[in-house]
């Protein structure tokens, strides 16, 4: 996943997949979060669900747009706000705009420059992660993960849901 998501399972995928059956028809990632398990599982159909709207919107955006367009949009936003490892004012201006508009590209770019690439919202649902001065930026490692993630999104049969887990219909499983 291109997100550094709290509770992410990337580092323990091997142990998780050891207990999965060899053949999976439908895999349900009920609380997808950073979507590390779902995007890496080998299944005929993957259901990606999370109650957090901005996560599902981001995954749908990445699945529906070409990789070149996604990267162009990211770099355009970085240039527009002159984002660097030192430009706290540019970061804060982008954060203010995201909190007003809820544009998913703005959100995604914020995660690259946020402290430890973390995602945090306050009680008013405003993105409030502080700037990651000298620590966080969009870089070649993130771009590589993003490209691999987008390729996997496009090559797999993934259905996205933005529901409370109790609202999903499991009758077909």
Q: Are 10 and 36 in contact (CB under 8 A)?
A: yes
d(CA 166, CA 99): 29
Tell me what the pLDDT averaged over the chain comes to.
95
pLDDT digits (tens, 9 = 90+) for 54-73: 999 999 999 999 999 999 99
Helix-strand-coil split of the chain, %, nearest 5: 50, 10, 40
Nearest-Å Rg of the Cα atoms of the chain is 17
Model pLDDT, residue 50: 96
H or E stretch at 27: strand 26-29
For the full predicted model, state whether its pTM sits above 0.85.
yes
Model pLDDT for residues 102-158, shown as the tens digit of each residue: 999 999 999 999 999 999 999 999 999 999 999 899 999 999 999 999 999 999 999
């Amino acid at each position: 996943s291109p997100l550094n998501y709290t509770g992410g399972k990337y580092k323990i995928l091997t142990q998780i997949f050891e207990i999965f059956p060899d053949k999976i028809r439908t895999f349900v990632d009920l609380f997808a979060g950073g979507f590390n398990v779902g995007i890496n599982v080998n299944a005929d159909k993957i259901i990606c669900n999370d109650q957090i709207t901005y996560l599902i919107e981001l995954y749908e955006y990445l699945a529906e747009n070409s990789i070149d367009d996604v990267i162009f949009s990211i770099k355009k936003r970085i240039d527009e706000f002159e984002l660097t490892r030192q430009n706290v004012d540019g970061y804060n201006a982008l954060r203010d705009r995201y909190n007003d508009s809820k544009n998913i590209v703005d959100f995604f770019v914020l995660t690259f420059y946020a402290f430890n690439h973390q995602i945090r919202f306050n009680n008013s649902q405003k993105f409030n992660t502080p700037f990651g001065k000298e620590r966080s930026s969009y870089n070649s490692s993130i771009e590589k993960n993003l490209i691999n993630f987008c390729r996997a999104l496009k090559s797999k049969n993934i259905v996205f849901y933005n529901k409370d887990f109790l609202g999903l219909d499991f009758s077909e499983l």
